[in-house]
Chains A and B, each alone.
Chain A
Amino acid sequence: MAEGRRSSPPKTADRLGRMLAIVPYLVQHPGSSLDDVARLYDVAPAQLRRDLDLLFMSGLPPYGPGDLIDVEVDEDDHIWITMADHFSRPLRLSRQEALAITLRAAELLATPGLPEAPALASALEKLRDSLGPDTAGSGEAIEAAAGGRPAEHLETLRRAARRRERITIEYFAGSTGEWTTRDVEPEEVFSAMGNWYVAAWDVAADDERLFRADRVRAVTPAGVTFEPRGLGGAGRALYTPTGEEVPVRLLLRPPARWIAEYYVTVDPVELDDGSLEVTLPAAQLGWVAALLLRVGADAEVRSPPEAVEAVRDLARATLSRYR
C-alpha cells in the first residue's frame, strides 16, 4: 500500500493472504485497473499479474469449462473476474489483526489535531460492533489519551509531503528560542512523544532536520518539487547528535530522571540513592540552562564550567525581571 516500499521475494502465505483479500475486491469492482489494485494492495503489478494467472487455473470441481474461475486482463489492463462467488467476501479478521489495527488507530488518535480522527473513531466502533467482542475485544481495553497541542498546519504539511513540494516555513526553534524562515522538503509526517513532527531536508543547511509541526507558524509553497531522499522519523530518536555538541554531565535526582528518558543521553551511571548521572550532548548551552532552570534542585550540572555558568546567568537574567 505504501508507495516505494521494497518487497522481498513473496512467500506463499503472503500471496495467499493477498489473493484472499484481492479477489473479493475484484468481484465487487469489475473492470478495476491493474495498477490501482496493485497500489491499493501494495504488490508489484507484475507479481499481481502472475498471481491472477494462477487463479485462472483454480476453481471448483468438476472443472468443466464453466466451473473455472475466469480472469481476464484486457488490453487496457482492466481486470475482469467471474465464477469466483465463493471468494466474493474476504476472510474474517483474526483477533490479532483486529487488535493490531485498533492499537495503530489509538496511537494516531492520541496525537491531537488529526483531521481523520472522527472517521477513524467511528470506523473502529463499526469494526467492534460487527466482529463481536471475541474478535475485537471490548472497547474499554484500549484507549487513546490525547494531550499536547494540535498543529495548525498539519494538513498542509502532509499534503506537501505527499506531493513532494518544497515549502517555506516560519519555524520557532526550541533550542535557540528564535523564529527562523527556512525552505524545507518535507518527506514524512509522524507522531512521537504525543506531538506531530516533520522529517525534512533543510535546503540552506543542506542537511536533514526534524521539525515539530506545532511550532510551524506559516507555510507557503516554494514553487518547486523535489526528489525524496528516503527521510523518515517514526520510531527513531528525535535527536541524533552530530558530534559538534558540548557534552554536559548531569546529576539527575529521581524526580528529574525523566530527562534521561526524554532526551538522548549517553554514559549513564546509576548511583546508590536512585540518582542517575548522564551526559547530555547539547547543541546549545542556552537550551540546557533552560532545562536546568525548569527542574531546579532536582538536577545539577557536573561539567563543563561553561554550562554551570550558563545556568547561573539564565537564573540571574530571570531574576532581573522581578527586581
Chain B
Amino acid sequence: MEPLERLLNLVGLLLETPTPLTFDQIRDTLDGYRADNVDSAKRMFERDKDQLREFGIPLQLVDIDAWGTEQGYIIPKDEYYLPDIAFTPEELGALLVAAQSGGEDTRAEQAARKLLYGADGGVLAGLAGGPLASGSDARSALVLDCADSAQRRRRVSFGYRTSQGQEGRRVVEAFAMVFRGGHWYLVGRDADRDDVRAFRLSRFTSDLDDVGEGSEPPEGFRAADHVRAGPWAAAAEDHAEIAFSPKVAWWAVASFAGAREVGVDEGWIVADVPMADRRLLASLVLQFGPDAVVRTPSALRDEVIRRAEALDG
C-alpha cells in the first residue's frame, strides 16, 4: 500500500471517529497497519503520526475516560477544518496572483490552494490580468522569521550593517514589518539605543536569534512612519517652479509626486513641484542636467547653481 493511501485513511478515520481510538483499535480498522509484526506496525504508525503533525494536522492524544487510564488518538473537527470564508471571485483571483508572485518558498501557494475549494467556476477567468512576480531583495526564510517575530512580539538579535557601512550586533524588540521600495524592513525598539528603528533585511549579516520576550509597541505606533520614504512621499508646504525640456518632460514631471504642469514656454514644460526638502529636490533636479531649470524659489535655484559650480572645476 502506498504511504499516501495509508495517510489519507488515517486522517479520515480520526476525523470521523466519535471517540478517541487506541493504536490497537486503529490497527484493527486500517489495512495499512495490519502487518504481522505489531512492533513494525507501531513504528510505521508513529512515523505517520509525526508526518501528519508536521504537516499541521491537529492529531491529538487524549484521555479516553475520566480516570486517564487509557489514551487514544483523534483529530478534532473544529481544529482541522478551515472556517468558511466568503471570498468574492475577484478576491480569490487576487490571492492567487499574490501567492504565485514568486520566491523560493511555496507556503503562500499552499495557502492559496486551500482557499480555492469554495471558489465558483470563475477563478481561472479571474486570472485575466496575467501573472506578476514580486521581487524582494531578502531571503524568504529571513522575511518569514522576522514577520513571525514581529507578530509574536519577540526580542531578537542579529548582525547588521548600516547604510553608512557600520557593522554590529543589534538587539531589537520586533513590532512590525514594512515593505517599501522593494525592500523589507523590520521595525522595532532597538534595545541599546532605546528608540524605535527600522532595519532593512538586505543589510542583515546573520540569521535571526530569538532572545526572549519583547514588548508592545508604544501608543499610536505606526510602522510605516519609521521607514524613511523617498523625497516624493514627504509632506511639502513649499512649492518650486521647474521647467523641463521637451525631451524629458513626460518622464520627468511624472517622477516628482504631486507635480503638475502649469504652462509651456518655447516648448519647455513648466511644472509646479511640491518641495519638502530643498537639498533633496536640488539633487533630483540636478540628475536631469541641462534638461531641467529651476525658476523659483531663488533658494532652490541658488542651491542648484552652487552645486553645479562645485563640479565645474
Binding site for B on A (CB under 8 A): 1-2, 12-13, 15-22, 24-25, 27-29, 36, 39-42, 51, 54-55, 57-62, 86-87, 89-111, 114-117, 119-120, 122-123, 126-127, 130-131, 137-138, 140-149, 155, 158-159, 161-162, 172, 174, 177-179, 188-195, 214-215, 217, 232-236, 254-255, 257-258, 261, 270, 274, 276, 289-297, 311-312, 314-322
- A147 contact set on B, CB distance < 8 A: 180-181, 229-230, 232-233
- Across the interface, do B113 and A312 meet the contact criterion of CB distance under 8 Å? no
Chain A residue, CB-CB nearest to B91: A123
Identify which of A57, A108, A138, A295 contacts B98 (C-beta below 8 A). Answer: A108
In the complex, the answer to whether B97 meets A108 with C-beta atoms within 8 Å is: yes
> Is the CB–CB distance between A254 and B165 below 8 Å?
yes
When A99-B151, A144-B179, A192-B135 are in contact, do A104 and B103 touch as well, CB less than 8 Å?
yes
* Contact (Cβ within 8 A) B95 A120: yes
Question: Is the pair A95, B148 in contact by a Cβ cutoff of 8 Å?
Answer: yes
The contact size tier of chain B is 35 or more
Cα–Cα distance between A195 and B283 once the two chains are bound (Å): 20
B130 near A189 with CB under 8 A, answer yes
Contact A127 B85 (CB under 8 A): yes
Partner of B12, one of A60, A122, A296: A60
User: B112-148: contact bitstring with A at CB < 8 Å (1 yes, 0 no)?
Assistant: 1111111101011000111111111100100110011
- A residues in contact with B29, CB < 8 Å: 61-62
Contacts of B90 in A (CB 8 A): 116, 119
Bound Cα distance from A99 to B4, whole angstroms: 27
Give 17 pairs: A residue, B residue, CB < 8 Å, sorted on A: A20-B11, A92-B114, A99-B144, A100-B140, A101-B112, A109-B179, A143-B223, A145-B179, A161-B131, A191-B135, A193-B181, A234-B135, A274-B165, A294-B284, A296-B310, A318-B289, A322-B304
Which residue on B lies nearest to A146, using beta carbons? B180
Cβ-based interface call for B307 (8 A): yes
Q: Is the CB of B8 within 8 A of A162?
A: no
The reply to whether B309 and A1 contact each other, CB–CB distance below 8 Å, is no
Query: Residues of A contacting B116 with CB < 8 Å?
Result: 21, 25, 40-41
Dominant secondary structure of chain A at its interface with chain B? helix
Residues of B175-217 at the interface with A, using a CB-CB cut-off of 8 Å, are 175-183, 202
The answer to whether B94 touches A119 (Cβ under 8 A) is yes
- With A1-B112, A104-B101, A141-B223 known, 16 other A-B pairs at CB within 8 A are A1-B96, A1-B99, A22-B113, A55-B8, A89-B84, A100-B105, A100-B108, A103-B143, A147-B180, A158-B132, A161-B130, A172-B251, A190-B132, A235-B103, A293-B289, A318-B308
Give bound CA distance, A17 to B93, whole Å.
21
The 5 closest A-B pairs by CB, nearest first: A234-B133, A162-B130, A137-B151, A194-B181, A123-B91
Answer whether A107 and B136 are a contact pair too, CB < 8 Å, given A215-B251, A293-B286.
Answer: yes
Q: Nearest Cβ in chain B — how far from A149, in angstroms?
A: 6
Contact between chains at A16 and B233 (CB < 8 Å): no
User: Which residues from chain B sit less than 8 Å from chain A, CB to CB?
Assistant: 2-5, 7-9, 11-13, 15-16, 29-30, 51, 54-57, 79-88, 90-103, 105, 107-119, 121, 123-124, 128-137, 140, 143-144, 147-148, 150-151, 163-166, 175-183, 202, 221, 223-224, 227, 229-230, 232-233, 247-248, 250-251, 254-255, 257, 283-284, 286-291, 293, 301, 304-305, 307-313
Highest count of chain A CB atoms <10 Å: which of B55, B110, B133, B183: B133
A19/B123 contact (C-beta < 8 A), A107-B101, A215-B251, A293-B308 known: no
Contact at A232–B232, with CB atoms within 8 Å? no
Complex CA gap A317/B110 in Å reads 57
In the complex, what distance in Å separates the CA atom of A40 from the CA atom of B98? 14
Chain B nearest Cβ from A212, distance in angstroms? 10
Which residue from chain B places its CB closest to the CB of A133 in the assembled complex? B151
Contacts of B308 in A (CB 8 A): 293, 315-316, 318-319, 322
- Min C-beta distance of A223 to chain B, whole Å: 19
Interfacial chain B residues near A95, Cβ < 8 Å: 148
- Tell me if B's interface is mostly helix, strand, loop or mixed: helix
In the complex, what residue of chain B is closest to A291 when comparing beta carbons? B287
Closest to A173 in B: B251
Residues in A with CB closer than 8 Å to B137 are 235
Residues of B within 8 A of A144 (CB): 178-180
CA gap between A145 and B90 in the complex, in Å: 23
A316 and B102 contact, Cβ closer than 8 Å, known pairs A21-B114, A321-B290? no
A261 contact from B3, B121, B163, Cβ within 8 A? B163
Min CB distance B54 to A, Å, is 8
Question: Which A residues touch B100, using CB under 8 A?
Answer: 1-2
* B107 x A96 contact (CB < 8 A): yes
Nearest A residue to B123 via CB reads A40
| A-side contacts of B310, CB under 8 Å | 296-297
**Chain A residues positioned under 8 Å from B103 (CB to CB):** 104, 235
Interchain CB contact under 8 A, A54 and B283: no
Check B287 against A290 for contact (C-beta < 8 Å).
yes
Nearest B-chain residue to A51, judged by Cβ: B4
Chain B: minimal CB distance from A203 (Å): 20
Task: Report whether B109 and A21 are in contact in the complex, using a CB–CB cutoff of 8 Å.
Answer: no
Report yes or no: B289 in contact with A145, Cβ–Cβ below 8 A.
no
A270 contacts B289, C-beta separation under 8 Å: no
Q: Are A258 and B163 in contact (CB under 8 A)?
A: yes
Of listed B16, B107, B257, residue having the most chain A CB within 10 A: B107
**Closest Cβ neighbor of B51 among chain A residues:** A13
Tell whether A16 pairs with B4 under 8 Å between CB atoms, given A91-B80, A215-B251, A312-B311.
yes
